[in-house]
């Protein structure tokens, strides 16, 4: 048994609420995480996902390979509320993202639902 934690873990990030594994890769959502991939630019509940790979930094060690954030991240998006991985691709949900792919058509959720599989998604090539 191995405990997996984010390199930049913080209280109340909801790290591990959603998890997916494929082969030697694990993706973990942290939908209340605030900082971008460099640990800067704090946006409350923007969310993130973390990719871990087996045998990274030693045999049988699941080391963090990268932190993934949305390219259009904003406060309250909750990116990482749903995650899935298959081979070299991952899908990450942001269930309170309120803009379409071009940055328009904003909508607002009066009562956000808990972490669940819902649109919109971000597709990542690992």
Report pLDDT digits (tens) over 3-21. Answer: 899 999 888 999 999 999 9
Report pLDDT digits (tens) over 36-69. Answer: 999 889 999 999 999 999 988 788 889 999 999 9
**Domain extent for 49:** 15-100+115-125
**Residue 89: inside a domain:** yes
**Residue 45: inside a domain:** yes
Return the minimum-mean-pLDDT range out of 64-68, 74-78, 98-102: 98-102
CA distance 4 to 13: 14
Domain total in the chain: 1
**Residue 56: inside a domain:** yes
Look at residue 99 and tell me whether its pLDDT is greater than 80.
Answer: no
Burial of 52 (C-beta count, 10 Å sphere; 0-12/13-18/19+): buried
**Residue 40: inside a domain:** yes
**Residue 71: inside a domain:** yes
């Amino acid at each position: 048994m191995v405990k997996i934690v984010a390199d930049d873990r913080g209280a109340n990030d909801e790290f591990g609420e959603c998890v997916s594994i494929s082969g030697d890769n694990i993706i973990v959502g942290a939908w209340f995480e605030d900082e971008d991939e460099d640990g800067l630019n704090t946006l409350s509940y923007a969310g993130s996902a973390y990719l871990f790979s087996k045998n990274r930094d030693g045999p049988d060690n699941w080391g963090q390979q990268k932190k993934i954030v949305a390219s259009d991240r904003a406060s309250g998006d909750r990116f990482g509320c749903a995650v899935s991985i298959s081979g070299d691709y991952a899908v990450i949900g942001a269930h309170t993202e309120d803009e379409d792919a071009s940055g328009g058509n904003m909508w607002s959720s009066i009562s956000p639902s808990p972490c669940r599989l819902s649109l919109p998604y971000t597709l990542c090539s690992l």
